[in-house]
Amino acid sequence: MKIESIDLQLSRIPLPKGPWGDQIHKVTHIEIILADIKTDTGLVGTGFSHTSGVGGRMMIAALEELIPELIGREVNPRAIWHDAWQYLRDNGPGGTTTLALAAIDIALWDLLGLHFGVPLATLLGGKVRDRVKLYGSGINLNLSAEEVVEQVKSWKAAGFFAGKVKVGKPDLEEDVYRLAKIREAVGQYPLMVDANQGWTYAEAVRAVTRFRDLNLYWVEEPLRVDDVVSHARLRARTTIPIGLGENVYTLQQFNQYLVEDACDFIQADLGRVGGITPYMDIAALGRAYNAPMAPHFIVELSANVLTAVPNALCGEMTDGGTMTELGIILPQPPQNGFFVPRDVPGNGLEYNREWLTQHAVNLEEA
């Protein structure tokens, strides 16, 4: 089975609940890069990648240069990923490079599943669990303390095993107040916080010191993610576990974090690391260090992959930001706080083509 053609589409999807904001972001829409790979057998596999609103055209340009190298190749995700990464990596080993490759890689795994008539987890070695627990996650730094409390209470009521809220108010004591109000409302329900890389080292030390009695499950991205040394220094000074990975792109970068004892939970994003092929390598690396996998975003695919990952912990149910809520795929809602993959060949995603086309970018325009 050989690749005959690859068609690309870039769409900009509006956020259903309005703009997202945290310490360093303001997101008004999500970009989706869709790749349809057709084979000489007539099968078509579909993959995608995503951005937080910036960079989609760069990824399309990279893929347009790569496509001639892929036409005629046998459908072999691992071989193609490594060759394609080598072809593009002079533009950077991760980031736009791996984000672009994700659309191809996910489509190739979808093709294999369709070809053999088996679900994705079977291709990845078989299920180690039939469902994946979820945690509620909110882009909620702009909400009042009362609103955040109600949001976390709603996640607990929905069966999500934990909740995650943003921190990074200009006054640290406001963060402490908000978290204390949540604790008061939900008791010892597992609670994570996410700083989105917004603190200096000194600010992070002060924050984790003030948070130490709140029994937090993890503190996420307390510092800029390219600063491994400072994460290791912070990790040595706090009893709060550190989670990160949504902005870490390569196996080698994750290895550096683990070698330096700089993180406890691996939150690798399937799109940002380059797709399913590198994600499984990162999961195996995490298993060697006894580090759980808790992927960022795109829960309908990432939780599907987690059913075949022994060291899987959970998927992230982003409030207002799932592929279902964004209208990218036909609905796959959680079931009592868990994600249960569809038992169908391929990756189980059915794309809302009409919605994606409605929001497609005209790539012919300058």
* Cα dist from 175 to 58, 162, 210, whole Å: 37, 18, 10
Both tokens assigned to 176: 């402490």
* One domain, residues 179 and 322: yes
| Structural domain that includes position 160 | 123-339
* One domain, residues 134 and 102: no
Ordered DSSP codes for 175-205: HHHHHHHHHHHHTT--EEEE-TT---HHHHH
* One domain, residues 143 and 113: no
Give the span between the Cα atoms of 125 and 127, in whole angstroms. Answer: 7
Q: Classify residue 289 by burial, with Cβ atoms within 10 Å: 0-12, 13-18, 19+.
A: middle
CATH number at residue 160: 3.20.20.120
Give the span between the Cα atoms of 230 and 209, in whole angstroms. Answer: 16
* One domain, residues 157 and 297: yes
Query: How would you classify the pairing of strands 191-194 and 219-220?
Result: parallel
pTM value? 0.96
Residue 364 lies in a domain: no
The pLDDT, as a whole number, for residue 15 is 87
* One domain, residues 171 and 201: yes
Residue 157 lies in a domain: yes
* One domain, residues 39 and 144: no
Residue 330, helix vs strand vs coil:
coil
* One domain, residues 279 and 229: yes
Residue 363 lies in a domain: no
* One domain, residues 63 and 128: no
* One domain, residues 87 and 167: no
The pLDDT, as a whole number, for residue 23 is 65
From the CA atom positions of the chain, what is the Rg in Å? Answer: 20
- Under a CB-based contact definition with an 8 Å cutoff, are residues 27 and 21 in contact? yes
Residue 254, helix vs strand vs coil:
helix
The number of beta carbons lying within 10 Å of the beta carbon of residue 60 is 19
* One domain, residues 262 and 145: yes
* One domain, residues 111 and 137: no
Query: What amino acid positions are annotated as catalytic residues?
Result: 166, 296
Question: In the chain, how many domains are there?
Answer: 2
Residue 47 lies in a domain: yes
Residue 278 lies in a domain: yes
Residue 344 lies in a domain: no
Give the span between the Cα atoms of 40 and 239, in whole angstroms. Answer: 55
The pLDDT, as a whole number, for residue 25 is 65
> For 7-26, how does the pLDDT look when each residue is reduced to its tens digit (9 = 90+)?
999 999 998 876 766 666 67
Q: Which residues of the chain have pLDDT under 50?
A: 366
Phi/psi class of residue 207: alpha, beta or left (left: φ > 0; alpha: ψ in -120 to 50)? Answer: alpha
Both tokens assigned to 304: 């599907």
CATH number at residue 53: 3.30.390.10
* One domain, residues 220 and 93: no
The pLDDT, as a whole number, for residue 328 is 96
